């Protein structure tokens, strides 16, 4: 008996719950030789702002125990560059594209949507309100509910497509942000971004990242992400895209049981590009073994 892997994020249909975490999969072409992009539930591309952006100096990443630090600083071609360089490529595939958007100032969030919204290839927007690595904007908006709400409302006003605020993990009450997102008309919540962190070289006394601090990702943070997803699931009815250290199918299933409708594979892409495929297969296998009909049968079923 086959199971139904389909899910919906607002009006966006995904053939399975598995997408990739923004910034860990480029814009699509980078992994096309190794991963069958048509198998993905959705492709989430690296953060896009209205203008081209140069990002941070190097070193930009550093390996830690059970994870890695990154302070890439959101380099990117800007909305127009994205449309010219990558949309033609992405068009070829039968897979929804979630564009991760960010801005230096509040208005940017509106501008970038205005620039992208006419593209049918763009299926939804993940609003990055939680980048630990850019001085301007980024996590500033993610840690104060007022400015957070203003950004979400602004974006809501610019598009009919699903909008998915990506929450900052470093807050005391994540539920408040989830509720705020819901009140501002968001279609889903993405959680979590990498966690503000730092490593210092004890010989040079210099931070290992040129940006000094960065974001921690990978298996190390999974238990933090699971808790945040559980908290958000209790605070809102919105679908959740869960991520943070998903390396094995079991990790993805754990996120779904905690309350995630969709899951994103991030750092694991660097370690093993077959991860997304294995996760999709693993979720299906689990559902069959447990006698479920569809993914809906396991979402938020944690006995807690």
Partner 1 sequence: MKQEKATVLEHHNFQGEYRILRLAAPSIGSLVKPGQFIHLQIPQLGDRILRRPFSIYKADAEGVSILYKPVGRGTESMTPLTPGSLVDIIGPLGNGYPEAGKGKLPVLVAGGYGNAALYLKAKQLKTKGVAFFGGRTAEDILCVEEFKELGWDVRPTTNDGSLGIEGLVTDAFDPWLQEQDIPALELFVCGPNPMLKAMGDRAIEHGFTAWLSMDENMACGVGACLTCVIKRKTDDGWEWARCCKDGPVFESREIIWEE
Ligand X SMILES: Cc1cc2nc3c(=O)[nH]c(=O)nc-3n(C[C@H](O)[C@H](O)[C@H](O)COP(=O)(O)O)c2cc1C
User: Interface residues with partner 1 (CB under 8 A)?
Assistant: 23-26, 30-31, 33-34, 46, 54-55, 57-61, 63, 65-68, 70, 72, 75, 218-219, 267, 269-274
> What distance in Å separates the CA atoms of residue 82 and residue 59, rounded to the nearest whole number?
25
Asked if 260 touches ligand X (CB under 6 A), the answer is: no
Q: Is 184 a catalytic residue?
A: no
* CB-nearer residue toward ligand X: 103 or 244: 244
266: left (phi over 0), alpha (psi -120 to 50) or beta: alpha
Which does residue 302 bind out of its own copies, partner 1, ligand X, none, counting CB within 5 to 8 angstroms by kind? its own copies
Q: Are strands 67-70 and 213-217 parallel, antiparallel or unpaired?
A: antiparallel
Asked if 64 touches its own copies (CB under 8 A), the answer is: yes
Query: For ligand X, which stretch binds (CB under 6 A), given 6-14, 82-90, 149-157, 261-269?
Result: 261-269
The active-site residue out of 116, 131, 154, 263 is 131
CB 98 within 8 A of CB 75: no
Instruction: Name the β-bridge partners of 212.
Output: 209
> What distance in Å separates the CA atoms of residue 138 and residue 158, rounded to the nearest whole number?
20
* CB-nearer residue toward partner 1: 55 or 175: 55
Q: Which residues of 81-111 are buried (b: 16+ CB within 10 A; e: fewer)?
A: ebbeebbeebeebebbbbbbbbbbeeebbbb
Which does residue 198 bind out of ligand X, its own copies, partner 1, none, counting CB within 5 to 8 angstroms by kind? its own copies
> What distance in Å separates the CA atoms of residue 195 and residue 213, rounded to the nearest whole number?
10
Question: One symbol per residue from 194 to 233: x for binding ligand X (CB under 6 A), - otherwise; what is it?
Answer: x----------------------xx--x------------
Q: Which residues are catalytic?
A: 131
């Amino acid at each position: 008996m086959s199971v139904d892997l389909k899910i919906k994020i607002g009006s966006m249909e995904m053939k399975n719950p598995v997408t990739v975490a923004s910034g860990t999969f480029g814009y699509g072409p980078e992994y096309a030789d190794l991963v069958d992009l048509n198998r993905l539930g959705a492709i989430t591309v690296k953060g896009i702002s209205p203008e081209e952006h140069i990002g941070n100096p190097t070193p930009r990443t550093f390996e830690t125990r059970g994870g890695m630090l990154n302070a890439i600083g959101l380099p990117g071609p800007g909305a127009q560059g994205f449309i010219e360089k990558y949309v033609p490529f992405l068009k070829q595939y039968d897979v929804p594209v979630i564009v991760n958007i960010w801005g230096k100032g509040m208005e940017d969030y509106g501008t970038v949507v205005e620039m992208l919204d006419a593209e049918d290839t763009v299926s939804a927007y993940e609003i990055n309100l939680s980048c630990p690595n850019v001085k301007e904007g980024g996590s500033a908006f993610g840690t104060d509910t007022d400015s957070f709400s203003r950004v979400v409302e602004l974006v809501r006003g610019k598009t009919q497509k699903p909008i998915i605020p990506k929450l900052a993990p470093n807050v005391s009450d994540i539920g408040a942000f989830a509720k705020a997102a819901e009140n501002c008309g968001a279609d889903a919540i993405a959680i979590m971004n990498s966690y503000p962190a730092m490593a210092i070289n004890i010989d040079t006394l210099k931070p290992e990242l040129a940006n000094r601090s960065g974001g921690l990702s990978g298996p190390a943070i999974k238990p933090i992400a699971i808790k945040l997803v559980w908290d958000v699931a209790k605070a809102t009815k919105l679908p959740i895209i869960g991520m943070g250290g998903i390396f094995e199918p079991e990790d993805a299933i754990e996120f779904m049981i905690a309350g995630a409708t969709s899951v994103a594979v991030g750092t694991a892409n660097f370690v093993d590009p077959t991860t997304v495929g294995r996760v999709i297969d693993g979720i299906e296998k689990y559902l069959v073994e447990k006698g479920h009909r569809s993914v809906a049968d396991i979402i938020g079923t944690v006995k807690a």
